[in-house]
């Protein structure tokens, strides 16, 4: 059997934290890959985490590389490679730069890890995951975009902060694209099974929804350089763990819809069951007319970005 192997393409802030969480959860051996110009940096991060293991006794090997041959046979590939957002930049500004990067990544993953479950994180997410799918030719159940897991975690965090109750007991969902048109669904949000409209006023709920939509931008502004990395890494590892341990978690993720929610041929955030077959099912829920309209808005935004990518 041996340990599972997880390849992290991109060794920036998220890549480093992913390697740390993956080691702490002992999900498998981890390879952090980045471009030759920063090979020393990813080797340094890997070695630093290797030297942390004795404290809690984690057994996982972490290596850094710039050679794609080192990801050979990976069970999971997480792609965070790409240029991060700078203040004032939209996710779409990143499109042309990150399309070139993802095309190269897709060709190498296809060559060295053809059976991997691939989680795409690079922005603009909905177009980049589509590009990976097109270029790699991977089956749709093995290509997924991480967005909804993070957006939902932020929604949960803000509900917990607003109510003063445990984040652990908050359940909620965010559908749609990863950006300002995302669709948080307060109607379905609960704390310990209690609907949030019993705990918060309409104004408070509206404020939480707005903050969720703008959460990424809020952090970009505060940091002044770069974007969030702790929360995205935790969201990604939740997906990795559900796949490797066949947990069947229901995680909102960007999946290829072929008729679900009336959407055909686009990756968009929907509730996915993640197990050992990758995306095993997309769960469909009845939406109100208002929610449908919001999902159509997000679809329009996703379509325009995908069309710009000319794939």
The residues carrying an active-site annotation are 178
The span from the CA of 32 to the CA of 74, in Å, is 12
Residues 6 or more apart whose Cβ sits within 8 Å of residue 31: 5, 6, 7, 8, 62, 63, 64, 65, 70, 71, 74
The SS3 call for residue 288 is coil
Those residues whose C-beta lies under 8 Å from the C-beta of residue 271, and which sit 6 or more positions away, are 148, 173, 175, 250, 251, 252, 282, 283, 285
Angstrom distance (rounded) from CA 271 to CA 80: 22
Q: Tell me the three state secondary structure of residue 250.
A: strand
Q: Which residues of 182-207 are buried (b: 16+ CB within 10 A; e: fewer)?
A: bbbbbeebbbeeeebeebbeeebbee
Measure the CA–CA gap between 283 and 54, rounded to whole angstroms. 42
Q: Take residue 219 and report the two structure tokens written for it.
A: 């952090």
Give the bridge partners for 268, in sequence order: 255
CA dist 220 and 2 (Å) reads: 40
Residues 6+ apart with CB under 8 A from 282: 255, 257, 260, 270, 271, 272, 273
| Rounded Cα–Cα distance for residues 262 and 260 (Å) | 5
């Amino acid at each position: 059997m041996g340990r599972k192997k997880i390849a992290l393409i991109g060794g920036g802030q998220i890549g480093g934290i992913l390697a740390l969480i993956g080691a702490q959860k002992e999900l498998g051996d981890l390879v952090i890959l980045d471009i030759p110009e920063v090979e020393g940096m990813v080797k340094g991060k890997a070695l630093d985490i290797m030297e942390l293991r004795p404290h809690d006794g984690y057994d996982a090997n972490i290596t850094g590389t710039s050679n794609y041959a080192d990801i050979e046979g990976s069970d999971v590939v997480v792609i965070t490679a790409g240029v991060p957002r700078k203040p004032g930049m939209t996710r779409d500004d990143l499109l042309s730069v990150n399309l070139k990067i993802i095309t190269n990544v897709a060709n190498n993953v296809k060559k060295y890890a053809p059976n991997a479950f691939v989680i795409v994180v690079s922005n603009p997410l909905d177009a980049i995951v589509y590009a990976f799918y097109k270029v790699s030719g991977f089956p749709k159940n093995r290509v997924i975009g991480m967005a909804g897991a993070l957006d939902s975690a932020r929604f949960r965090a803000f509900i917990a902060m607003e109510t003063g109750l445990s984040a652990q007991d908050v359940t909620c969902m965010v559908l749609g694209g990863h950006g300002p048109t995302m669709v948080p669904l307060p109607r379905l949000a609960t704390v310990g099974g209690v609907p949030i409209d019993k705990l918060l006023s309409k104004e408070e709920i509206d404020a939480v929804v707005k903050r969720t939509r703008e959460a990424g931008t809020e952090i970009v502004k505060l940091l002044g350089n770069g974007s969030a990395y702790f929360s995205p890494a935790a969201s990604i590892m939740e997906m990795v763990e559900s796949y490797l341990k066949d947990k069947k978690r229901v995680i909102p993720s960007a999946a290829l819809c072929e008729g679900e929610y009336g959407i055909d041929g686009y990756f968009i955030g929907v509730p996915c069951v993640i197990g050992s077959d990758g995306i095993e099912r997309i769960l469909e829920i009845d939406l109100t007319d208002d929610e449908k309209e919001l999902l159509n808005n997000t679809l329009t935004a996703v379509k325009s970005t995908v069309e710009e990518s000319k794939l």
